[in-house]
Amino acid sequence: MTTSQLLNITATEAQARATAFDVESYQVELDLSWDGEVFGSRTEVHFTAADRASIAPEYSFIDFVGDSLREVSLNGINLPTDEYHGARIALPVEHLADTNVLVVDAVARYTNTGEGLHRFVDPVDNETYLYSQFEVPDSRRVFTVFEQPDLKATFQFTVIAPDHWTVISNQPTPDPIPLELLAGAGVTGRRDDTAHHSRGHLARWEFTPTPRLSSYVTALIAGPYYSVHSTATSTTGREIPLGLYCRASIAEYLDGDNLFEITRQGFDFFEHEFNTSYPFEKYDQLFVPEFNAGAMENAGAVTFLEDYVFRGPVAEQLVERRAITILHEMAHMWFGDLVTMRWWNDLWLNESFAEFVSHVAAVQNTRFDQAWTTFSAVEKTWAYRQDQLSTTHPIVADIRDLNDVLVNFDGITYAKGASVLRQLVAYVGHDAFVEGVRRYFHTHAYGNTELKDLLGELQLASGRDLAEWSELWLRSSGINTLEPQLQLAEDGETISSLQILQSSQHSETPLRPHRAVVGCYRNDPAHPERLIRAERIELDITGETTEVHVPAGTKVPDILLVNDEDLTYAKVVLDPDSARTTIDRLSDVADSGARAVLWGALWHMTRDGVLSASAFISTLLKHLGAETHSSLIFTLIRQLNTALNRYVPASHQPQIRHTVAEKLWELATAAPAGSDTQLQFFKAFILHARHHQLEILSEVLSYGAHGQDPRLPGLVLSDELRWDALTSLVAGGYAGVTEIEAAAQADTTATGALSRHKAMAARPEAQAKADTWSRLVEADMSNTTQRQTIIGFNRVHDRAVLEPFIDQYFEVIDTVWGQRSHEMAETFAEGLFPGWDVSESTLEKASTVLASTNHSALERILAENRDDLIRSLRAQRAFEATPSGNHRSTGSTNETNDA
């Protein structure tokens, strides 16, 4: 087998090992005192193999991905180490007993990719910080393990590290024992006192064993982390220790009061909702550098993206996102850690459940009571896009191996799954759902389950047969479309009949049952400038046509909204009159959730080429200034960027971008001083400013050094905002290396170093772009350095400077993918795909490489980017089909076709 094949564990192999072995415990000793890029890893595994005669030799192995093996013994018998090829350690069947002890003494390697044990050196104080990231298959990069979720065991960690560090794991941190004291007692705690070790004072931390866990939720975080502590009171009366950790150099920004408040609100909600007390001994939350995801649900030691330590004013949507992320990871303590999926085909359920209940908790028990609007605007937008790609898949995906898992952390797994769970709750009822979930936790605590186990409990609690429901919703792909068909009475003012027509874009997508709400919106009698819901009709939509019972004499509403309250997962089509009213009066709709669904309908129309990008942009600019929901503003600005950069033909982009930037500057200067909207509009202006608008941007920056620009009262120019503005000035040729280096000298933090990389990559000169490209292809850089360099590389005001790299991308991508870890390869492939060049030529090149690659994960990335190109070409054709007069760019936003 090749190394890539050895690294890839199949479902068949995992099932065979789960049948053959039961794992009792791991004792893991890690020596982090070594110099250089490696550390010592010693693992003692206790496991049983009762039916040894049935174990096929090819399935009798354990996992370790490291530098080398120093010694391996199975039941006291030394095994050869020279046949190790970097992924698997064979367990000879003839040496197995009923009860087994495996000892592996190995050399493991730190990473700078955010996988395994990540190592980061803070440029501020030169201190080293470590943290683990094990999901999906990377605990094997740190210790020897059966790397699959259904072989749960207890884990006892022992760590040697510098004595001024803090070491955190799943269990409470013990008092460190100075190594010189152990040496005086005849115990060094080291397996080899001659190789690799650094000098200095060291200590040993011996953690107590964990409860039975899957290896992917174990954790180790080490370094001179700053911390603050508090407690939360459990429903049992137990005081749960709480900890917050971050690098010492950003300690002043750790807003412990807010973080602890959300944490306590989460515990209060989940313990009552699940009727199960928190299952672990403490709850630490650690904000770590160079993290790839938003967070990771390690049992009792959750790691978070360090960006959630806010070093300046941020938009309210980011504050809300942090809160929902905290609640999401906390929900995993029960659903994922206490009760764990048997195999990765139920990854969707793990993530979807946490995503769904985190929004429930936010709405019901925090100040973020409009989180469902955020869910509609952000999560479901992601799901709808993902579900219309050629790579879409059923929520319950066929996960054949680890490669399949890694590409399925997508909008189906998270957002569509959570959307369908919300529909399931509407279908079975909230009380039945909660009762079923409670029984699920009580029955399966510390065990592994499959989807059928949860559905069985929900079916028992609700009395509903969920077999057909789950088949239609969970085992088929694609989106249904719901469209109202309205017939008027003879008076022309009242409704004669109303039907909901259901359809599917593809034959493999079945028509599904939908529990939904139809809302009729009219002028508020007390405030005629507002549109409010006057009638609410809740119903079950089934089959192709569903009759809606409308009381006789009901007048035709100004807006008829199918899927009001956003209970189901479907594309919503507006009837012609409702569409016209929406385009004209969307900002008059009082309810933010209804606005989110209406904006979603307009975005579907734009992506499908029904509404031209110019009309969408014009509508957006008309209503953006009146929007008050921060996450909705955030999503609209992202959609504005996509519409302008992808759906407007290149020849029309400069004049429309000019209008967009002018409007954004107008909105920023008109917004309340220091407000969320002022910050979001100004950040958007930074992105789109060109030519004389860059002079305005330069003036704002110069004011920031000597006071405050009177046009933007209350705006705090944080380091992040200053770097973002400078990067745009660099991309436009209004600043260069001198200004970048001056900014870097003023900001010597880790964030400043990353921002420097981004700004340097944004330089528009051909040689600067060529040099940056060479570094991205050839240099060894950390995950965040690569990511920020790619962002800067793509920040151009003249796309001609990127044209030479279209062919180069397709020439190197297959090779680069084969040479890098999944995280690093994925960032390169996604970030540098030339999707900005919406042309048949780029589409053809993407198709050619797609047909030739043997890397399944790369194949998916190429296919999805090709799909986006096809959609962009269709949208641009719709733009060109719009009468040319409608593309004029003036300052006015009153006409719907005026961009």
Catalytic residue among 127, 273, 329, 859: 329
Report yes or no: 669 and 712 within 8 Å, Cβ to Cβ. yes
State how beta strands 220-223 and 177-178 pair.
Answer: unpaired
For the record, the structure tokens of 144 come out as 């020897």
- CA atoms of 405 and 213, how far apart (whole Å): 20
Q: What ranges make up the beta strands (E) of 391-457?
A: 448-449
For 640, counting Cβ atoms within 10 Å of its Cβ (0-12 exposed, 13-18 middle, 19+ buried), the class is buried
Return the SS3 of 450: coil
Neighbours of 485 (CB within 10 A): 13
Neighbours of 808 (CB within 10 A): 15
Counting every residue, how long is the chain?
Answer: 899
Closest to 259 measured CA to CA, from 286, 240, 234, 297: 286
Task: For residue 115, indicate whether it is catalytic.
Answer: no
- CA atoms of 396 and 391, how far apart (whole Å): 14
State how beta strands 448-449 and 480-488 pair.
Answer: unpaired
For the record, the structure tokens of 265 come out as 């609100």
Neighbours of 187 (CB within 10 A): 12
What's the distance, Cα to Cα, between the start and end of the chain in Å?
58
Kindly list the strands in the beta sheet with 116-121, ordered across the sheet, starting from the edge strand earlier in the chain. 116-121, 128-133, 220-223, 166-169
Mutual angle of helices 613-624 and 592-607, in 10-degree steps: 160
Helix (H) or strand (E) holding 158: strand 154-162
For the record, the structure tokens of 73 come out as 């013994």
Residue keyed to tokens 């408040």 = 261
Report yes or no: 876 and 649 within 8 Å, Cβ to Cβ. yes
Cα–chain-centroid distance for residue 113?
A: 17
For the record, the structure tokens of 193 come out as 């006192």
State how beta strands 166-169 and 220-223 pair.
Answer: antiparallel
Sign of CA dihedral 326, 327, 329, 333: positive
Instruction: Report how many helices (DSSP H) and strands (DSSP E) the chain contains, helices first.
Output: 29, 28
- CA atoms of 732 and 728, how far apart (whole Å): 6
Return the half-sphere exposure (C-beta side, CA atoms, 13 A cut-off) of residue 648: 28
Return the SS3 of 89: strand
Cis peptide before 136 (omega within 30 of 0): yes
Return the SS3 of 131: strand
Return the SS3 of 310: coil
For 174, counting Cβ atoms within 10 Å of its Cβ (0-12 exposed, 13-18 middle, 19+ buried), the class is middle
Q: Which residues are identified as catalytic?
A: 329
